[in-house]
Structure formats: C-alpha cells, structure tokens
Structure 1
Amino acid sequence: MEKRKEGTSEEEKWVHDASVDYKGRLAFRASTGVWKASLFVLIFEFSERISYFAMFSNLITYLTKVIHQDLSTAAKSVNYWAGTTTLMPLVGGFVADAYTGGFNMIIFSSLVYLMGLSLLILSQFIPSLKPNNNNQPRVAHEVAFFLAIYCISLGTGGHKPCLQSFGADQFNDDHREERKKKTSFFNWWSFTVCFAMLLGATVVVYVQDFVSWGVASLIITILMALTTIAFYAGRPFYRYKQPAGNPFRPILQVLVAAIRKRNLSCPSNPALLYEIPELEKSQGRLLSHTSGLSFLDKAAIIEEKYVEQKDNAWRLATVTRVEETKLVLNVVPIWLTSLTTGVCWAQASTLFVKQATTMNLKMTESFTLPPASLVSVAAIGVLISLPIYDRVIVPILRKVTGNERGISILRRISIGMTFSVIVMVAAALVEAKRLRIVGQRTMSVMWLIPQYLILGIANSFSLVGLQEYFYDQVPDSMRSIGMALYLSVTGVGNFLSSFLIIIVNHVTGKNGKSWIGKDINSSRLDRFYWMLAVINALDLCAFLFLARSYTYKTVQRRTMDTDGCNKSDGVETVAK
C-alpha cells in the first residue's frame, strides 16, 4: 500500500503532516523541506559546534592556567558548565514544543548565544576585565568570563534541541523517499558535528594557546553571527510545525483516566479500545496498541454510562494517547542506564586533557600539540567509523538480520557502551604506566591516542544511537524534548562525574593520598579509571536486560467504526 500513486497525484504536491510554510499555508513539497532546507540547518550547526568544542575542549586549560584553579576545582567547574549546557535544552525543548515552535526558539536562543560570545570578547580586550599577566586571578575577569560562558549555556538550551529536530522535521515520515533521506540527514548531522569538533579542537584551540584567547573568541563570534543571518535568510525553504501546547498534559490525562477506571477489566480484543481517525491529521500519527504497561490501556476503555462524554480527556483517552504515555515511561529506564556514556565522555575534556599536559607534546621540532586538541582524535574516530558502519556494515547486517537498520537502535547503543568500558580500561593502563616513569622520562602524548580513538568509535555507536533513539521513540509532539533528553545524557554525565570526583576525594583523601589531588603526578587517576570501567560494565548489564524486553514505537493507520472503535488494523505498520 505504501507504493500507492506516490508522487503522481495532486495530493502528493503538498505535505500532509501538519507542516506549514513560512506564511502559515500548507507546505508545498517541491519548494520546501528536504535538502534545500536542511543545508541551512547543517551549516548553522557546524558554526555553533565549532564555538562549543573550542571552549569545551580547552576550558580546563584556561581555568588552571589563566584563572589558576587547582585540578580538582577546574575539573568540577568544567563538568558543571558542560552539565548546565546540556541540561538547559530540556527547558528550551519544552518551551519550543509547547508554545513558541522550533524556528522562533532557534532565533531567540541564537541571539542569547551571540550575547555570551560578545561578552567573552569583552572579557579578553577591555583592560578592566582582562586577566592579569601575573599569577593572581582578577575577580572582575572571573565574573565576566563565567557570566559569558553561562550565557552561552542559556543560548544552547534553545538552540541545540530545536535545531536538530527542526532539521529532521524537513523530511516527511509518511513519504517513502523523504523517510530514507531523513536517515541520511542524521548521518550527515553526526558527520557535521564531528568535523566541527575536529576544527574547533585543533585550529581554534591552536589560536587560543599560541595566538590569544581574544582572537579565537572573535573568530567564533563572527562565524556564528554570519551563519545566524544565513539561517534566517532560509525562511522560505523551511517547513514549520506549529506548537501543540503542553505535551505533558495528555500524559497526565491518560494517567488520571487509567486510575479512575482501575477497577475495570481491559477487553481481550484491543480493537475495542477507543480511537478517533481525525487524530492522525490534526495532532500526529496513529500508534498501534502494544501489550506492555497494560494498566494504562484502561484509560481507553469506553464506559457505557459516560458514552456521551467522549470529549472528556480526563476520563477517556485514545489508544494513541495511551501509547504515547507508554513511550515516555519506557524512555526513562533507557535514559537512566545510558548516563554512564556521558560520564566517560566527560573525562575526554577534563582528566584526559590534564594527563596530556604532563606528557611530551612535541610532534616536530617546530610544532607542539595543544593538549585540548586531542579531543579531535575522538572526532576522527567518529569520522572514520561512521561511514564504514553506514556504508559497509549496515548493508551486510540488513541481509543477515532483515532489519532495515541492520541492527536495532538499542543494540547499536549497547555496542557503544561496550567500547566505553574498553576506553576506561585503556585509560587506566596508560595512566598506570605514566605514573611508573614519572621522574625518569617524559611519556609521549601519543600513548593517549588509543583511548581517544576508541572513545570516538564508542560515540559513533552510543551517542549517535541515542540521538536516533530519542528522536524516534518519543511522541511526535515531543521531538525537541526528545533531543533535549539525548543532550541531557552527556549533561547529567558531567554532573555525575563531578559527584564521583567529590566522593572519591572525600573517601581517598582521608589517608592523604587522594586519587584526584591538586597535582596530577601525586594523584592516582588509574584507580579512578578502573572504578569507572567497573561502573560502566555493571551499567551495560542493566542496559542489556532492559533492551531484551523493549517494545519499539509502532505507527499504524486504522479505519474506524462510526462509534470510534477500531474496525480493522490498518494499512501499514512501521516499527521504529
């Protein structure tokens, strides 16, 4: 049925998924969306990620060398900032989905982001705000600097989740060719992010370390301003989704309705549960019934004495609303067990970088590698492994498994989590070797390449898989929130990393031999890494247990009886 007159009928000229053009009219397929629109999105993301990774990868160096924080304090400061930056999207995504729409939130948050970058420039060039040349930190500079980077965090809160979901929304899920292109969009999105990471952590970081922080800030601010203008200029090409109101309200209504009817028994035939055909066009796609969390199905039972109150959503919910509630509840344990991925990634820009500062960074007689640039090796790992996975491994797996994706989303994530365990084991072994030769000779920074490279491979499976999961496996009306949940994995991971550092310092510092002391050579980071390897391994076991019984989102169109009950299971079912 999916091949029915696609691209030939008059109806195919228009996009029938509640999308509109920039004038609020029904979106015309030929002139809006797909690559002509998403190219603006990818360019905008490229410039923002260069700015972010230039700051994120070298922040610990700035805090220790310019502001003169000790290692433990600087690591926690980086984790707090990174955590805030990746948790703010939960607020921005909610406001966009419920009230403003993605485009308006992107523009507003980009202006806030530019304010933060501008303040960062001022903190480097205005004499009263500039850092001192001696070893004494200047309070005014610290205030201006932290105000600037947290203003950037606020801007990222609206920019990051909305831009990615806005880009994916340029492809219609109900159109076969556009659905295929959407899969490519996610691949190109990840490629763009990693390429930006590569440039931000090498070229811009080199300017920070060997030219000046002020010049580097000026470069990324100009780039961000130009791409903001370009993104706004692309307005006629975009497809827009109207905000649908508070997305948590329908979920609460399902829970209330199910509790009200807790004493009723669900019908043996799920087709007798309530559904309305208008839902598909007005509020999103219909979802087919699943057997999990069956208590919630009671919300869709039609009570004879309330048959005239079908419009009371607090007493009667549709099957689709019930399934959307199940989706949200199913996401929670997956999110919790994926947090260790964020903890591992937090080490790449904190403790791994401090390891590098104690090593031989000379590549040639005339070139010294900036420690923060090692993050680019992780980007290279993604840039190499992602195309191989997409173009070589997936086609083979499709033939073997019959799965359109090659392997399921959760299995892909679990492979990445396995590599995360290997990363921490490799880091522990390298650090143990470095500590053994301290005072004898300086270890080459090349010893850190394997752990960064493996981390990049891990991210090409876990982080890209999580990105796909949180976009696909949430209700259609919550996709910006879904992308915010994906970002929060690394955000909460940074906070958890700081929490672990505090606990480890408290426990191990009692005997005067803290694993993470003020000086890295007197610390025992190898033991800290071994602890993270064990935590990741245990968490992987819990994740695999959840993945075995997970039910994926299933989209289904149905025909209806006049009373609103399902007449027959429908035209197509698409398992996500």
Structure 2
Amino acid sequence: MEGHVDYRGRPILSRSAAGGWTSAAFIIGAEVLERFAYYGISINLISYLTGPLRQSTAAAAANVNAWSGAAMMLPLLGGLIGDSSIGRFRTAVISSVIYVLGLAALAVSAAEGGLSRVRTAVFFLALYAVAVAQGGHKPCAQAFGADQFDSDDPDERFSRSSFFNWMYFGVCGGTAVTVLLMSYLQDNVGWGVGFGLPCASMAVASALFLSGSPTYRFSRKSPNSASSEQNKEPLLLEKSRSGGWEDSARGILRLLPIWATCLVYAVVFAQSSTFFTKQGSTMDRRIGPNFLVPPAALQSFISVSILASLPLYDRFFVPIARSITGRPAGVTMLQRIGVGMVLSIAAMAVAAMVETKRLRIGQELGSAVTMSLWWLVPQYVLYGVSDVFTMVGLQEFFYDQAPDGLRSFGMALYLSIFGIGSFVSGFLVIVIQKISALFGDDWFSDDLNRAHLDYFYLLLAALSCVEFLLYLYFARRFRYKQGLGHSV
C-alpha cells in the first residue's frame, strides 16, 4: 500500500497486514471508554452546579452550554494540529494524557467538602482542561479510525461507511451504561466517586488505544510531496495530504452551507442534558416504595433507541434502499442527515406537548409530582432515532467530503456544529429569560411550575422548520467531491 507504513515505519505490502476491522476494534473500544468518561461528567453536570455549587437553574444551564460549546469548538484546533503538525495519532495520545489529569483534578475537587472560591476555581479549571483534551482526542481518534480503511478499495470504502455506524453503536452502548450507572452514583453515593470513575475509564481508554499500535496503518505522505520514503525512523506519525492550501480552503468552504444549516439541530440536541433533566426532577420518579429514578437516567433512552435502531439501519434499511437506489449506502449522506432533522422537529413538538400537560397538572394541583417521569420517554426516543440519521450522517459527510489532508479538521468541523449550538442555546436562554422576566412571565424560573419550557420547545420546533427548508435548498445544490453529481 503506497504511502502507508506500519508502526515501525515499514511499508505495508497488503491490506490484510495492517488496518481494517482489527485496528478499528481497538479504536472503537477506546472511543467507548472515552465517551463513558465524557458523559460521566456531562450528563449530570447541571445537577452538580445547582447542588454542591449552588447555582440557579438558568446560570447552571448557561454554564453547561458554555462548557459543552467549548468542548465541541476546541476540536477545530485539535484537528488542525493533528492534520498539519504532529499527526492524528500523536495528537490523540497527548490529549489522552491531559484528559486523565483533568479528570483526576475534577474528582479531587468534587470530593472535598464545603463550598469555597478555591474549590470552585479548581473545579472549573479541571472542567475546561477536560474540554481541551477532548478537543484534541475526539476528532483525531475518529479520523484515525476511518483512516484504517482505504477509500480506493470498493470493499474497504463500504466498510468505512459501516465503521461510522458501528463506532456510534459502541459509543451509545457505553453511554447507556454511563447514564444509568453514573447518575445513580453521583446522586446517591457521592460526586468524588461519580467523577473518579470517568478518570479510571479514560486511563483504560488510553492504554487500549496504544495497545492497538502494532495493527494500525500510518500515512507517511506530507503536505509538500506526493510520497515519502522516510522509513528509517519508526515514527508513529501520519502526515496530512493536500494539494495546496488554496485547494484545501476551497474544499472546506464548500461544506459551510451544510454546516450552518445544521446549527439549530445542535441547539435542539443541547436540551436533553439540561432542561429535560430538570423537568424530570419535578416529576414522579418512584419505582416501588423505596427507589427513585435519577432524573438524568432517562437520557439512557437516547442510547437504547440508538442501539435498537442502528443495527436495523445497517443490516435492513441500507440493503433495501440500495436495491431501490443503486447507491452503496442506500441513500446519500445528505438525505440521511435530512431525515434526522425531521425527527428532531417531531421530538421538540412532543416535548412541548408533554411540558404543557405537566404544567397544567402542576397549576391545578400545586405540584407536578403526580405526573410520571415516563411521559418524557417518547421525546428521548425520538432524539435517539434522529441521531442514527443525522449524527452518523454528519460524521461520515464531514470526514468524506473534507480535503484528504484535512480529515481530522473535517471531523472537528462536524463537532463544532454542536459547540456553536450549545453557545446559541445558552445565549437564547439568557436573552429569553431577560425578556420574559420583563413581562413577569419568566420562561426559565427556578420553580418550573411557574416557568414556560413549553414555549421554548415550540420556539425551537419553529426554528428547526425554517432550518430544514434552508438545508434542503443548499443540499440540493451540493456536489460530492467524487464527482458523482447526485443531489440530495
């Protein structure tokens, strides 16, 4: 395989010698553990901020959105470093070390009793260290995983498309366990343990990623040459490939209309770990006489619905669609993304209806605790099914359609959609709270029985409809870089 070497810098003589699903298994396993670490922090962060750190609901939601936004924007820097400087593999490894250290500091700060400025400062410094580390690890590790499949080989190109499906399947399986386990431990055992387990998980992820090194393919092509025969040094390094920065810039710019018209989807996505969780805390969470379901645990239904839907998509939907359309993946990447957008609109509409019912019960009875927590399940399930289409479709689209030498940056561009979406969500919360409070009807009151999250959800559903129309306009005019010329 010209332009590729193994971990000792030796030429790879056949595709079976390195790369493929063997390498992908190590990377998928490491990504599952990394997501356990990340979601072990993020899923219940709003509860920690409103609990031990004593922040208001609106302030905590804004802080969660700001941190999530930073964690999703920093991959732009990490991806650029991986593509143009030290390589994807090394960027992922270095980021993993910072990741473990940040999580360790987070666990120590959470384990300390009392509330002080020092403890709060250490907590937020550690939290943003995790964001920085995630920004380097996630785009480079995922792009490096896709690099294990050769796009010039028809069978491996199809396997690469399937790789994104099964990587997301594994990640969501780990997330389901994370949500159920960590939300219970954090609410009932302690935050030190609740943040300590993610640290241990990331340490194991780093070891697993490194242990797969003998099986990996590494690209030895540089930005300035067609190929490189520098096989004397056993560098674990793959360089970016590019036909020039001007061509690369044009290749990235052509993706921006799709990027921009997916931002509202990301705003919708941000609600599952903030206001959905706070809603759940006001509802009847009892199972039996003694057990209370942690509010954040319902996020597991997103993962469960993904775990149920992805195999059906990969093994049944794709073959049926392929027989009709003649396309290897059944539908185009942009078609797949669009279907998920429609489902996200449905999720917001259902969320608004459920919240309207919850408010009516709360106003009639003075409390919403008589309404079962399970009323929130449908909106979580719709979230999960929409992710199967849009999230996985976006991953494949931004990897596949980015210039060859900027594929880590392409993955980072995909992640930045959710970073900007989190910032926009936080900005909307702040602006709407100030405006609605002026009229004596605070949409985000700490007492959710006096709030109007239903109005907020309806607003997001309306914005999503506008976004979808714009997306259709640009998607129909997009031309894939392989020159196939097919529209959305």
* Cα distance change on mapping 1:441 and 1:81 into 2, 3 Å: closer
1:72 matched to which residue of 2? 58
Q: Unaligned 5+ residue runs, structure 2?
A: 229-241
Q: Which amino acid aligns with 2:401?
A: Q
Corresponding residue for residue 10 of structure 2 = 25
**Residue in 2 that maps onto 1:565:** none
Tell whether the 8 Å contact from 2:321 to 2:331 is kept in structure 1 after alignment.
yes
Tell me if 1:399 matches 2:323: yes
In the TM superposition, residue 242 of structure 1 has moved relative to its aligned partner by 4.0
Q: In 2, are the aligned partners of 1:555 and 1:575 still within 8 Å (CA)?
A: no
Deviation, structure 1 residue 93:
0.3
Give 1:109 deviation, angstroms.
0.3
Equivalences for 1:31-42 in 2 at 5 Å?
31-42=17-28
Q: SS where residue 535 of structure 1 aligns?
A: helix
Alpha-carbon distance, 1:417 to partner: 0.6
Distance, in Å, in 2 between the alignment partners of 1:45 and 1:178 is 21
Per-residue deviation, 1:487:
0.8
Give runs of aligned pairs for residues 325-364 of structure 1, distance below 5 A.
Answer: 325-364=249-288
Tell me whether 1:181 sits opposite 2:167 in the alignment.
Answer: no
Within 5 Å, give how 1:27-426 maps onto structure 2.
27-28=12-13, 29-125=15-111, 130-132=112-114, 137-242=115-220, 244-245=222-223, 324-426=248-350
Distance between the aligned counterparts of 2:182 and 2:93, measured in 1?
25
Deviation at 1:217, TM superposition (A): 2.3
> What letter matches 1:345 in structure 2?
F
Q: List, as ranges, runs of 4+ consecutive aligned residues in structure 1 with deviation greater than 6 Å.
A: 320-323, 573-576
**Whole-Å separation in 1 of the counterparts to 2:211 and 2:320:** 41
TM-score of the superposition, structure 2-length normalised?
0.92
Kindly indicate whether the alpha-carbon contact (under 8 Å) linking 1:101 and 1:242 is maintained by their aligned counterparts in 2. Answer: no
Between the aligned partners of 2:196 and 2:72, the Cα distance in structure 1 is 24
- Please provide the CA RMSD for this pair: 2.3
Q: 1:441 to 1:321 in 2, by over 3 A?
A: closer
CA distance in 2, matches of 1:206, 1:19: 46
**Which residue number in structure 1 is paired with residue 234 of structure 2?**
none
Counterpart residue number, 2:448: 520
Q: Give the aligned residue type for 2:263.
A: L
Q: Deviations over 1:34-75 (max 9, x none)?
A: 122111111111111001111111000111011110010000
Give the Cα–Cα distance (whole angstroms) in 2 for the partners of residues 546 and 494 of structure 1: 23
Q: Note if contact 1:54-1:200 (Cα within 8 Å) is conserved in structure 2.
A: yes
Mapped partners of 1:538, 1:339: distance in 2: 12
CA positional deviation for 1:481: 0.3
Q: Could you say which structure has the greater relative contact order, defined with CA pairs below 8 angstroms and 6 or more residues apart?
A: 2
Contact 2:475–2:487 (Cα < 8 Å) also in 1: no
In 1, Cα distance between equivalents of 2:447 and 2:359: 12
Given that 2:334 and 2:393 are in contact with CA atoms closer than 8 Å, whether structure 1 keeps it comes out as: yes
Larger radius of gyration: 1
Alpha-carbon distance in 2 for matches of 1:217, 1:326: 43
Amino acid at match of 1:552: Y
Correspondence 1:455 to 2:383: yes
CA deviations 1:116-149 (Å, max 9, x no partner) are 0110122134xxxx142xxxx3222211111111
Letter in 2 for 1:501: V
Match of 1:502 in 2: 430
Matches within 5 A, 1:4-19: 15-16=1-2, 18-19=3-4
Gaps in structure 1 of 5+ consecutive residues: 1-14, 247-277, 283-316, 557-572
Deviation per residue, 1:528-576 (Å, 9 max, x gap): 11111100000000001111111111169xxxxxxxxxxxxxxxx9999
Deviation of 1:456 after TM superposition, in Å, equals: 0.5
**CA separation of 1:32/1:441 partners in 2, compared to 1, >3 Å: closer, same or farther?**
closer
Task: Tell me the amino acid that sits aligned with residue 389 of structure 2.
Answer: F
- How far 1:523 sits from its partner (Å)? 0.9
Distance 1:397 1:517, change over 3 A: same
Stretch of structure 1 that moved more, 385-394 or 60-69: 385-394
| CA distance in structure 2 between the partners assigned to 1:406 and 1:486 by the alignment | 22
Cα offset for 1:80? 0.5
For 2:235, the equivalent position in structure 1 comes to: none
User: Offset at 1:175?
Assistant: 2.0
- What SS does structure 2 have at the residue aligned with 1:405? coil
Deviations 1:82-122 (A, max 9, x none): 10011110000001100100111011000000110110122
Q: Are 2:423 and 1:487 equivalent residues in the alignment?
A: no
Instruction: Letter of the 2:335 partner, please give it.
Output: R
Deviation at 1:376, TM superposition (A): 0.9
The secondary structure found in structure 1 opposite 2:16 is: coil
Shift of 1:518: 2.9
Asked whether the 8 Å contact 1:102–1:241 carries over to 2, the reply is no
Alignment check: 8 A CA contact 1:66 1:131 kept: no
Indicate which of 535, 544, 554 corresponds to 2:482: 554
Q: Is 2:36–2:201's contact at 8 Å kept on the other side of the alignment?
A: no
Aligned to 2:231: none
Among 336, 346, 357, which residue is 1:433 paired with? 357
CA contact (8 A) 1:360 1:444 kept: yes
Q: In the aligned structure 2, how far is the partner of 1:502 from the partner of 1:187?
A: 36
Per the alignment, in what secondary structure is the counterpart of residue 554 of structure 1? coil
Residue 474 of structure 2 aligns with an amino acid whose one-letter code is: L
Q: Work out whether residues 30 and 205 of structure 2, in 8 Å CA contact, stay in contact via their aligned partners in 1.
A: yes
The residue number in structure 1 matching 2:393 is 465
Q: Distance in 2 between matches of 1:242 and 1:122?
A: 41
Per-residue deviation at 1:503? 1.6
CA separation of 1:21 and 1:353: change in aligned 2, threshold 3 A: same
Q: In 1, Cα distance between the equivalents of 2:343 and 2:205?
A: 35
Q: Number of matched residues? A: 471
Give, as a single letter, the amino acid of the residue that structure 2 aligns with 1:96.
G
Partners of 1:19 and 1:239 within 8 A in 2: yes
Report the TM-score when normalising by structure 1. 0.78
- Alignment correspondent of 2:236: none
Residues in 2 aligned to 1:389 and 1:516: alpha-carbon distance in whole angstroms: 38
Q: Is the contact made by 2:282 and 2:368 (CA closer than 8 Å) also made in structure 1?
A: no
C-alpha displacement of 1:184: 2.1
The amino acid that maps onto 1:99 is: S
Q: Could you tell which deviates more after superposition, 160-169 or 382-391? A: 382-391
Distance in structure 2 (CA, Å) of the matches to 1:470 and 1:244? 21
Structure 2 distance, partners of 1:441, 1:499, is 28
The CA distance in 2 between the partners of 1:237 and 1:352, in whole Å, is 42
